[in-house]
Amino acid sequence: MTTNSTRYLIRGASLGGGEPADLLIVDGIIAAVGSDAARDAGSSAHSIDAEGLIALPGMVDLHTHLREPGREDAETVETGSRAAALGGFTAIHAMANSSPVADTAGVVEQVYSLGRASGWVEVRPVGAVTVGLAGQRMAELGAMAESRANVRVFSDDGVCVSDPVLMRRALEYVKAFDGVIAQHAQEPRLTEGAQMNEGEVSAVLGLTGWPAVAEESIIARDVLLAQHVDSRLHVCHVSTAGSVDILRWAKARGIRVTAEVTPHHLLLTEDLVRSYNPVYKVNPPLRTATDVQALREALADGTIDVIGTDHAPHPSEHKECEWAQAAMGMTGLETALSVVQHAMIETGLMDWEGFARATSGSPARIGRLKSQGRPLGKGEPANVVLVDPAARWTVEPDKMATKGRNSPFAGTVLPGRVTTTFYRGHPTVLNGALNSPLPTDPEEPAWNI
């Protein structure tokens, strides 16, 4: 624990979008809420005027690509976690497709330590399901779970665990330590060379199609496997209306499945591909307006549990090329809150309470993060974000903290801005700008940092 004894009094923030109240943060904990807060603050407390701002629990991303180790030119744990703090996150899950792949205790501990040393957010490594993401042999899931990184989420993201036997075994095996398999649902044979959603637009553009059935058939298989072995399944970046139907059916049957949607799939459609600008190339691909509407409704009614950014930074040369040669992925950490506000809250589909559930409570529960996703109550860990919902800003990728410049929202005016992020009681972001990382605990042994 941090020995930081600085006190912060947040005055007049609307708690979770409800009534305005004061919050007192002391030693990493929410020490008081409401009228007690000002009384207990004392004269030394830093006061933050939060009138008109909304206080939310720190956001938790189940799906972040930090690229380190291996592609430090694209992103590092440091730059990615800075971007996360600016976006209102207090915890992120680093996907396993680094180089080397995070398929051993050694690699996940390295990523975990880099996150601790950076101190902007809690960095939780995701472990690979199979050795080298090759889909052949199960990685040492137990070793990763027992490591200092304490891994609970396992995924071959970027690649589907398509072998049904391997998927079944992985689902079963992680029950031993309450883990979850996060599946990138993409039937590989149906998507060989796939470039974009298969449909009217791909037919005109002459780009190889990525049919919705390639996602839906894997989700259908996996929910049935999860039911058969009574395991937890998490479905990454759901992108089609048909997937939503299958998830709704599975949940109605009591299958232990959770699902995620990216901000970009809640807003953008395949029509953008007509420009052949690879900034819109992403996997799973942008789909149709019908799919977007179904995803929004599913998030609103809880069929989809969480927002996952699938933040995927790439160096510019991987996007400044022909569509077919370009890398797949978009940055997302610094635009997630705004895009979700625009797509869900300003459309009346969701309130801020629902937002907090989908961006904090549910992802923390799925990832088994004990000190994240907690309500803004007395005695809770002080992972708190202040948001100005009335702000409007223009997305400028060059000014972002991430190394990636591949934002599909460049030039777009979006609502909502994170003004302050408290991570374990420390303001990582103040006045909309990076402040300082959480100081490392001098009493913590060096090997643990």
424: left (phi > 0), else alpha (psi -120 to 50), else beta?
left
CB of 204 to another protein, least distance (A): 7
125 token code pair = 């490594």
Burial of 390 (0-12, 13-18, 19+ CB in 10 A): exposed
> What's the distance, CA 280 to chain centroid?
19
Q: Cβ closer to another protein: 206 or 445?
A: 206
* Of 153, 161, 59, the residue nearest 112 (C-alpha): 153
Are 356 and 56 in contact, with CB atoms under 8 Å apart? yes
> Among 183, 202, 262, 331, which residue sits at the site for another protein (rule: CB under 8 A)?
202
Q: How far apart are CA 425 and CA 2, in angstroms?
A: 9
- First-to-last alpha carbon distance for the chain, in angstroms, is 12
Name the segment binding another protein (CB under 8 A); options: 98-106, 216-224, 318-326, 403-411.
318-326
Position 321 contacts another protein (CB under 8 A): yes
Q: How many residues bind another protein (CB under 8 A)?
A: 24
Min dist CB 339 to another protein, Å, is: 24
Does the footprint of another protein cover residue 117 (CB under 8 A)? Answer: no
Region binding another protein by CB under 8 A among candidate stretches 135-143, 154-162, 194-202, 302-310: 194-202
The answer to whether 398 is a known catalytic residue is no
**For another protein, which stretch binds (CB under 8 A), given 59-67, 193-201, 224-232, 355-363?**
193-201
Residues 6+ apart with CB under 8 A from 10: 22, 23, 24, 25, 37, 48, 50, 55, 384, 386, 420
277 touches another protein by CB under 8 A: yes
Residue whose entry in the numeric block shows the structure tokens 């460049």: 410
Nearer to another protein, 45 or 286 (CB): 286
Q: Give me the amino acid identity at 118.
A: S
Q: What tokens does 382 get?
A: 């002080």
Residue 315 interacts with another protein (CB under 8 A)?
A: no
275 binds another protein (CB under 8 A): yes
Q: Does 434 bind another protein (CB under 8 A)?
A: no
Residue 163 binds to another protein (criterion: CB under 8 A): no
Catalytic residue among 157, 291, 310, 388: 310
Q: Which x/- pattern, by CB under 8 A, does the window 206-245 give for another protein? A: xxxx-x----------------------------------
Binding site for another protein (CB under 8 A): 195, 198-209, 211, 275-277, 317, 320-325
